[in-house]
Amino acid sequence: MLEINDLHVKLAQEDKPIIKGLSLAVPKGEVHAIMGPNGSGKSTLAYVLAGRDGYEVTSGEVLWNGDNVLDMEPEERAAAGVFLAFQYPMEIPGVAGLTFLRTATNALRKARGDKELTTPEFLRLVKEKGAELNIDIEMLKRPVNVGFSGGEKKRSEILQMALLEPTMCVLDETDSGLDIDALRVVSEGVNALRSPERSMLMITHYQRLLNYIVPDKVHVLAFGRIQKSGGKELALELEQSGYAEYTDAAA
């Protein structure tokens, strides 16, 4: 279970508060959606969960299965099961996709006390998981994400998620930049990973994604805190009314 209690976050370099008292709980096995207008702090929350530099938590706590996530290095969080699918997946020139995936898979297996995979074992696994996401091995011989289309990058993130077997998935705008076919492939990939052992936090601006990945709960994030929580029908409501009541003009 993920518990976020009264979290306050500002930029490390400036006194600009972004998250101002956010509380949220995602029980094991549930999929929650966070929706909110642009600039409301959704990506900031995702980065803070993953441990990116540049943000300072001024108060509050984040617990994952009771452990204090904020005390851990990013790689320790990954080992503990936290995975962030980036809104803008990064390109790594010169590092072949397969090398990156194998290094990450084995680093995590080692950290979790599992046996590292041999190259043939790893290749078998990648081929199998890749096939489900329409990713063939040739694409993975290229440097990570370099020259990939928006859709390819998002599929490559979900492939990483499938290989790294996280238990707490944070997906930041996984739907952005996807056409309808790519959205279906990505959603099927995500749905295939839904399990009673795995919690998910889906960050999205649009309701569209939630037709494909149906959440257990929806939260509206605006002005740095959760303004409203409800069932999946809350997403439909937002689709109707828009974010007008959650933007500065309305405030």
Ligand X SMILES: Nc1ncnc2c1ncn2[C@@H]1O[C@H](COP(=O)(O)OP(=O)(O)O)[C@@H](O)[C@H]1O
Considering only the C-alpha atoms of the chain, give the largest distance between any 2 of them, rounded to a whole number of Å: 58
> Token pair for residue 204?
């999205």
Helix (H, G, I), strand (E, B) or coil at 205: coil
- Interface mask (CB under 8 A) for other proteins, residues 71-100, using x and -? --xxx-xxx---xx-x--xx-xxxx---xx
The site partner of 38 among ligand X, other proteins, Mg ion, none (C-beta below 5 to 8 Å per kind) is: ligand X
Please provide the distance, in angstroms rounded to a whole number, between the alpha carbons at the two ends of the chain.
33
Rule CB under 6 A: say whether 147 interacts with ligand X: no
Q: Which of 22, 30, 32, 41 binds ligand X (CB under 6 A)?
A: 41
E-assigned strand segments in 2-80: 2-11, 17-26, 31-35, 55-64, 67-68
Rule CB under 8 A: say whether 189 interacts with other proteins: no
Contact 35, 94 (CB under 8 A): no
Rule CB under 6 A: say whether 88 interacts with ligand X: no
Distance CA 82, CA 68 (A): 12
- Report in angstroms the alpha-carbon separations of 147 from 143, 144, 155, 181, 240: 9, 9, 14, 20, 37
Rule CB under 6 A: say whether 174 interacts with ligand X: no
Rule CB under 8 A: say whether 150 interacts with other proteins: no
Q: Which of 22, 36, 190, 235 binds ligand X (CB under 6 A)?
A: 36
Give me the least distance between CB of 93 and other proteins, in Å please: 7
The site partner of 138 among ligand X, Mg ion, other proteins, none (C-beta below 5 to 8 Å per kind) is: none
Which residue ranges make up the site for other proteins (CB under 8 A)?
Answer: 50-53, 73-75, 77-79, 83-84, 86, 89-90, 92-95, 99-100, 103-104, 107-108, 111, 143, 160, 164
